[in-house]
Chain A
Amino acid sequence: MEEVYINSIGSISAQKTFDNNDFLEEITTYEDNILPVIDPNYKEYIPPAAARRMAKGIKMGVVASKIALEEAGLANVDAIITGTGMGCVRDSEKFVTAILDNNEQFLTPTSFIQSTHNTVAGQIALGIGCKGYNFTYVHSSVSFESALIDAIMQLQLREAENILVGGVDESGEHTNAIHKLIQYIKPEKINTNKLLQSKTGGTVFGEGANFFVLSNIKQDSSYAQVIDVKTFNTMAKSDLVSNLEAYLKGNNLSVADIDVLISGNNGDIDYDSYYADLTNGPFKNTQQVVYKHLSGEFNTASAFGFWLGAKILKSQHIPKAIALNAIKTKGLRIVLLYNQYRGKNHSFTLLRQC
Chain B
Amino acid sequence: MSDLKQELKEKIITQLNLEDIAIEEIADNDPLFGDGLGLDSIDALELIVMLDKDYGIKLTDPKEGKKIFESIEIMANYIAAHRTK
Contact = CB atoms under 8 A, between A and B. Distances in A.
A106 B53 contact: yes
Contacts of A109: 42, 45-46
Contacts of A107: 49
Contacts, number: 28
Interface stretch (B12-20, B23-31, B60-68): B12-20
Interface string B48-85: 01001100000000000000000000000000000000
A110 interface: yes
B19 A108 contact: no
Given A49-B38, A102-B53, A110 B46 contact: yes
A282 to B, nearest CB: 52
Q: Is the interface of A mostly helix, strand, loop or mixed?
A: loop
Contacts of A99: none
Interface in A15-66: 48-49, 52-53
A104 to B, nearest CB: 13
A113 interface: yes
Given A102-B53, A106-B52, A106-B53, A53 B17 contact: yes
B20 A110 contact: no
Contact of A52 (B18, B52, B53): B18
A64 B72 CA distance: 38
Contacts of A102: 53
Given A48-B20, A52-B16, A53-B17, A106 B46 contact: no
Contacts of B49: 106-108
B25 to A, nearest CB: 13
Q: Which of A52, A106, A108, A113 has the most CB of B within 10 A?
A: A108
A90 B49 CA distance: 21
Contacts of B53: 102, 105-106
B46 A52 contact: no
Contacts of B19: 48, 52
Interface string A105-137: 111111001000000000000000000000000
Contacts of A53: 17, 42
14 contacts: A48-B19, A52-B16, A52-B18, A52-B19, A52-B20, A53-B17, A106-B49, A107-B49, A108-B15, A108-B46, A109-B45, A109-B46, A110-B42, A113-B42
Interface of B: 15-20, 38, 42, 45-46, 49, 52-53
**Shortest 7 CB-CB contacts between residues of A and residues of B:** A52-B17, A106-B53, A48-B20, A109-B45, A108-B49, A106-B49, A108-B46
